[in-house]
């Protein structure tokens, strides 16, 4: 038998302390949310014309909100021990945002383009994944 096949592959997340895992999940969420906010702000200001089908005012407002939210989430993840209550708020807001993205597509809230539908679905999946990682981080910390 090949020795390399018998050696278990280490799980990189298992080597992170619970607090470090949670802080990393929050900081990566903050960066991704900030990038999403910049993209929405750029398209909302007409820099990419009507790429998504989401009304420009919604894109601009949501982009600005996401930039502020991203800063808060990143700041929370920069604390040595993120607040339990604030982390639960981030998890809840992420869950609501993910569901809202799906509702926007299914309900036909706006005349979304193919890019807009794809953007909403990708956001829903990614944001739900961040909520799950943050939940796991809290659970690992015994909070």
Say how far apart CA 108 and CA 22 lie, in whole Å.
35
Instruction: Assign 7 a pLDDT band (cuts: 50, 70, 90).
Output: low
Q: What are the extents of the domains in the chain?
A: 18-140
pLDDT band of residue 4 (cuts 50, 70, 90) is: low
Model pLDDT, residue 13: 54
Residue 114, both tokens = 């193919």
Q: What is the mean pLDDT of the chain?
A: 90
Model confidence pLDDT, tens digit, residues 33-92: 999 999 988 887 877 667 889 898 999 999 999 999 999 999 999 999 999 999 999 999
Q: Which long-range contacts (CB under 8 A, 24 or more apart) does 50-54 make?
A: 50/113, 51/113, 51/115, 51/116, 52/112, 52/113, 52/115, 52/116, 52/119, 53/110, 53/111, 53/112, 53/113, 53/115, 53/116, 54/110, 54/112, 54/116
Question: Residue 113 and residue 110: Cα distance in Å, rounded?
Answer: 9
Rg, C-alpha atoms of the chain? 18
Contacts 24+ apart (CB under 8 A), 10-13: none
């Amino acid at each position: 038998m090949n020795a390399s096949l018998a050696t278990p592959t280490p799980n990189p997340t298992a080597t992170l302390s619970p607090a470090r895992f949670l802080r990393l999940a929050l900081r990566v969420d903050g960066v991704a949310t900030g990038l999403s906010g910049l993209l929405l702000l750029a398209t909302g200001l007409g820099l990419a014309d009507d790429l998504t089908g989401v009304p420009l005012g919604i894109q601009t407002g949501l982009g600005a909100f996401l930039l502020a939210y991203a800063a808060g989430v990143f700041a929370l993840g920069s604390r040595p021990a993120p607040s339990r209550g604030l982390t639960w708020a981030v998890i809840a807001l992420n869950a609501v945002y993910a569901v809202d993205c799906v509702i926007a597509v299914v309900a036909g809230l706006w005349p979304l383009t193919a890019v807009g539908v794809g953007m909403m679905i990708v956001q829903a999946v990614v944001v739900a994944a961040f909520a799950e990682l943050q939940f796991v981080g809290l659970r690992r910390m015994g909070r």
